[in-house]
Structure 1
Amino acid sequence: MEGPRSGRTTAAGELSGQSNGQCVEVADLRNGVAVRDSKDKSGPALAFDAQGWCSFINSLKSN
């Protein structure tokens, strides 16, 4: 998976405003999306290709 695009979009979010510090950042990459813990910027990130990201989001919506 390639690195971030120039002018990438990064969003930080929390679930229902009741996150208790459980926030993530999402980065739009050339070939997919990366997600990391917003409190641990040097820590690991999950990287998804476009199809994997859609599958991941759809599985969250169904639960």
Structure 2
Amino acid sequence: MAKYSLEFKLEIVKHYLGNYGGYLAVAKKYNIQDSIVRRWVNSYQQFGIEGLKRSKNQTHYSV
């Protein structure tokens, strides 16, 4: 199971995009790292809600 739900990620992104503070302020409010907020916001802006969904494909590498 994912550590953060899609709903939680979307809440964080909407909070940030609603101009309620910068990455640091939003991260502090939700007690997560600012780099996570930045990554989610960038993914959302680039790919929409699909960018916040967890990838179900696992990459396998040959040795």
TM-score by structure 1 length? 0.26
Which one has the bigger helix percentage?
A: 2
Which structure is higher in RCO with an 8 Å CA cutoff and minimum separation 6? 2
Which one has the bigger strand percentage?
A: 1
